[in-house]
Amino acid sequence: PLEDSIEGLIKHDLDYCMVAVPTVYHEPVGLALAAAGVHAIIEKPLAQDTPSAVRLASAFKDAGLVGAVGHIERYNPALQSARARLEAGELGDVYQVTTRRQGPFPARIADVGVVKDLGTHDIDLTAWVTQQSYTSVAA
């Protein structure tokens, strides 16, 4: 049956839940799942701000549950290959990485904005692919 609230969904004795609601609802939905003992993967960004993200991470950790965030682009074969080739020294030294987001602004991310919703891929992947920490960032 179709449910219209997280409480209604939890009543179905879930083992695991995928949270794919607007970002502003990640915290209340995630906290309800953690309190109910339900493992979850929460779409990125984890929350609308750092304090909310810390509360979510703590709730899952304290409950001994898996609470994960989707970083699906790390499984992109082209990016995995680039990382392996950089690590093997095939592509030389990396001095600078530039990323660009192109296309229309998706209305679904208006609650947190493009940097938190889509830019998180670029931010995460740049460090992950190069296996280096950031030394400076500009936008």
Digit-coded pLDDT (tens) for 113-130: 777 777 778 888 999 999
79: helix, coil or strand? helix
CA–CA dist 114, 130 (Å, integer): 23
Give this prediction's pTM. Answer: 0.71
**Per residue in 71-130, pLDDT tens?**
788 889 999 999 999 999 999 999 989 888 777 777 767 777 777 777 778 888 999 999
Which pLDDT does position 10 carry in this prediction?
Answer: 96
Which pLDDT does position 58 carry in this prediction?
Answer: 98
Nearby residues of 116 by Cβ (< 8 Å), 6 or more positions away: 23, 45, 48, 109
Which pLDDT does position 138 carry in this prediction?
Answer: 76
Residue 1 has pLDDT above 70, yes or no: no
CA–CA dist 123, 23 (Å, integer): 18
- Cβ atoms within 10 Å, residue 42: 26
* H or E element that contains 87: helix 77-87
- Average of per-residue pLDDT across 8-37: 95
CA–CA dist 132, 25 (Å, integer): 33
Which pLDDT does position 123 carry in this prediction?
Answer: 86
Distances (CA, A) of 94 to 71, 85, 89, 136: 23, 12, 10, 14
Domain 6-69 fold: Rossmann fold (3.40.50)
Which pLDDT does position 26 carry in this prediction?
Answer: 95
The domains of the chain are located at 6-69, 73-130
Q: Between 37 and 22, where is the model more confident? A: 37
